[in-house]
Structure 1
Amino acid sequence: MNIPAATRTQAEDLLTFIDASPSPWHAVQTCEQRLLASGFCRLDEVDRWQLTPGGRYFVIRGGSSIIAFIIGHQPAAETGLRLIGAHTDSPGLRIKPKPAEDAAGMIRLGVEVYGGPILATFADRDLSLAGRVNVRTAEGFTTHLVRFDEALLRLPNLAIHMNRDVNESGLKFNKQTELPLILGVADGNKADDRFRQPIADALGVSPQDLLTWELNAYDTQKGAFWGVDREFVADSQLDNLASCHAALSALLATKNPAASCICAFFDHEEVGSESAGGASGSFAGDVISRIAGCAGLDAEDQRRMLARSFFISADMAHAWNPNFPGAYEPCHRATVNAGPVIKTNANQRYSTNADTAARFMAICAKAGVPCQQYAHRTDLGCGSTIGPILAAQLGIPSVDVGAPMWSMHSIRESAGVLDHGYMIAAMTTALAD
């Protein structure tokens, strides 16, 4: 398989992006660093905004959601907006507020299941901690990002000698009693002290000054290429950091657009989006209203602006797995390295309709990339995205698309090198369309 050098470079950058982003807070930090390096200006929601045509800006809410945008040089009421949305969170295991337990001299950390991960894939992996920690100060507290590069945690499997049916019945964990992660030996110390000490040492503070935290267990194995022609990538969090990376790459490549271009990456999609920083919150609407206000648009022109807008909801798609052909709808087998996938569901689990699908097909044709169509098997429950949520909130025509991938919600997912390049090209064309 021939993979252009530029496409290979894009895939390498994707793996770098993901490996720098082991939590939603780190993902936003990675986006922020790239935006600042490209001349974007950070805004704060508490300040009054002054936006100018051609201006490049971003704003962060809650540390784990970010919206970046470029103000177009043509009147917004006449051009509308070009909007791409994705999400920063991935399914996994989150550390509880008081997690440490001494179990016969072994320190275990209690976890909550976040979203819908394939729990069996977390077993026997080199896991560590990443997220944010609030530290007591004289004025109140300060927030710090923390990550440990070395493996701190493990979810050891039960030997087959004690679980003889595992290969026939599948690997299953009781979420309360069998998922706690092993941190180390108590060694005469209190369990809570053993948990706090490495975090405090990393931050250079007292263990007792650690007030609260939002930490997840992440896989320390870095992303890699695989396949006879290295045509595939494997990493954690491809769902949905691959979509964030593609959209951000497209935005950074956009120069002097006629229409204002917005990339919105939200937290909490995997748990329903119901939060201040989630797609169901006011974040996108607030930013769009402020863009319109700075442009001097009255209520009528704001409605005209939205009516002329187009929204791409970007979330990864299910690729056809040749080992499980019965799991797929006939005639809707999206294959890896065959182009972006347009996702359709009659019950509005995806926001796509015939018009928006046709528009995205035209975008792909203009970009010179192939595209595919996907519908879920009728007798299987279909997942959803931020697409229907924002389409309903904003009244903007919307399409749901994604790069095809295997092992969605595994701790180690796979996708195609060509598909990522195709998605960047399609999004770049969409922002300029």
Structure 2
Amino acid sequence: MSEPPRFDRGHTDDLMSFLAASPTPYHAVANAAERLEKAGFRQVSETASWDESAEVSAAGSGGRYVLRGGAIVAWYVPEGARPHTPFRIVGAHTDSPNLRVKPRPDSGAHGWRQVAVEIYGGPLLNSWLDRDLGLAGRLSLRDGTTRLVDVARPLLRVPQLAIHLDRTVSAEGLKLDKQRHLQPVWGLADTVRDGDLVAFLEEEAGIAPGEVTGWDLMTHPVEPPAYLGRDRELVAGPRMDNLLSVHAGVAALTAAASSGGPLPYVPVLAAFDHEENGSQSDTGADGPLLGGVLERSVLARGGSWEDRARAFAGTVCLSSDTGHAVHPNYAERHDPTHHPRVNGGPILKVNVNNRYATDGSGRAVFAAACEKAGVPFQTFVSNNSMPCGTTIGPITAARHGIQTVDIGVAILSMHSARELCGAEDPHLLAEALTAFLTG
């Protein structure tokens, strides 16, 4: 294998900016779309007739994307692509575990003003304690439009109980009741009034009072991403699981689109929502979004159902999600012969019970991409005595009948409000994904 690509700190700097600007899945896909637009991609409406649209005509090449909620599917049709040309897909997800606002958000007691929240996904609950939190998400307006909002300053806090009032915590460990102990405070009030939080957000977003009729809101830590370590070889930040892969996928797709000349595949980025709670939604990997977009792309290029079948049969998806680096304080929790290290390159994730979708032929596809990019890679397998997590990989493979390989970047503190990765690995992942998309 050739020497690894020189560490591109600019890529990691840009990842940190992307993380900070993407506190919710809705912000993440908006930022991804903005980057795609700058690279010449154009949005396509799902309600338009793609067969008749000049922007996606059968003869037309170029980059397109579809936005739906917190998900985005983008693809680039290279010149000379046939209707049966296979796809090369980078799959990722935009959501992260957090605390999300309930339908009746205004609560409080004993002179405290609080926000009622529900637990989304599987967060490390203790990591959300005593942390300055902002509030962001999507507001639905009376006229049928939506507006993104982000209060990116310290607004809320989940205060931990003082040790003087819980003398057992040191000996027995912290025990949190999800209903009683995770409700953040955001001020003082003698009485709680319904509508206070929404009215506050209307004012913050410059929306007329009473115009917001629905909301999808979530808390996020406001501390920005930062380099860490003596030599700044680490990065600490929120939502690396899995915006790190979304960012790398956008970089790889735009690089593939600008490579010039014909490509043997149609490169695709599919960033789904709701992976952290099972992917079963219209914007999740277990929904119809990806399949519908790919099929319509084939048909818009003059293809038939036979062309669709041929294209899918030759398609490969890299399901890119974060994985577990070996933890120096808990090395016994890892498989003794598989210890992925940060800054050691992306990881290939394997589980014979199909919690990951990788098989031997998929490994060969990924190994070829890494060899082409000059990128080292590692392998992750769970300790046999530990249950294994899963990803969108097996879902994508089963739903669409396409070969799928699970990969990612090794991190520590997965599902914490603030996670940790190597500063070099995001760039190495993007290089490998670019090589994969360009064949």
TM-score, normalising length: structure 2 = 0.94
8 Å CA contact 1:306–1:396 kept in 2: the answer is yes
Secondary structure in 2 matching 1:366: helix
Alignment of 1:308-347 (within 5 A): 308-347=314-353
Say if 2:30 is the partner of 1:23. no
User: CA–CA distance in 2 between the matches of 1:47 and 1:313?
Assistant: 29
**8 Å CA contact retained: 2:5, 2:428:** no
Secondary structure of the residue aligned to 1:430 is helix
Which residue in 1 is equivalent to 2:402?
A: 396
Whole-Å separation in 1 of the counterparts to 2:192 and 2:124 = 32
Partner Cα distance (1:29, 1:225) in 2: 25
- Paired residue for 1:133, among 119, 131, 139? 139
CA deviation vs aligned residue, 1:5-33 (integer Å, no higher than 9, x gap): 76111000000001000000000111111
Instruction: Check if 1:354 corresponds to 2:360.
Output: yes
Partner of 1:258: 264
TM-score (norm 1): 0.95
Task: Output the CA distance in 2 between the equivalents of 1:80 and 1:141.
Answer: 38
- For residue 267 of structure 2, give the secondary structure of its aligned residue in structure 1: strand
Report the Cα distance in structure 2 between the residues aligned to 1:42 and 1:314, rounded to whole angstroms: 24
| Count of residues in Structure 1 that have an aligned counterpart in Structure 2 | 427
Determine the structure 2 residue equivalent to 1:237.
239
SS at match of 1:332: coil
The DSSP-based 3-state class of the residue aligned with 1:195 is helix
What is the CA-CA distance between 1:211 and the residue it aligns to? 1.3
Aligned residue identity for 2:171: E
| Deviation sequence 1:196-220 (CA, Å, 0-9, x none) | 3321211233443321111001000
1:157-168 equivalence runs, <5 A: 157-168=160-171
1:237-281 per-position Cα deviation (integer Å, ceiling 9, x unaligned): 000000000011011111343321110000000010000111101
Q: Secondary structure at the match of 2:328?
A: coil
Higher mean displacement: 262-271 or 170-179: 170-179
Matched, 1:118 2:86: no
SS at match of 1:253: helix
Give the one of 51, 55, 65 matched to 2:62: 55
In structure 2, the residue matched to 1:103 is: 109
Query: For residue 41 of structure 2, what is the aligned residue in structure 1?
Result: 40
Contact 2:111 2:191 in 1 (8 A): no
User: Distance between the aligned counterparts of 2:40 and 2:81, measured in 1?
Assistant: 23
Residue equivalent to 1:290? 296
What is the root-mean-square deviation in Å for CA atoms of aligned residues? 1.7
Give the share of equivalent positions with the same residue, in percent: 40
What one-letter code is carried by the residue in structure 1 that aligns with 2:225? G
5+ residue gaps, structure 1: none
Which deviates more, 73-82 or 266-275? 73-82
Structure 2 CA distance, aligned partners of 1:415 and 1:224? 11
Cα pair distance change 1:164/1:207, threshold 3 Å: farther
Pick aligned residue for 2:183 from 180, 183, 208: 180
CA distance in 2, matches of 1:27, 1:357: 29
CA apart distance, 1:79: 4.1
User: Deviations along 1:105-127, whole A, 9 cap, x unmatched?
Assistant: 21111111000000000001010
1 CA distance for matches of 2:7 and 2:301? 37
Cα distance change on mapping 1:210 and 1:75 into 2, 3 Å: closer
User: Bigger CA drift: 280-289 or 161-170?
Assistant: 161-170
How much has 1:150 moved relative to structure 2? 1.1
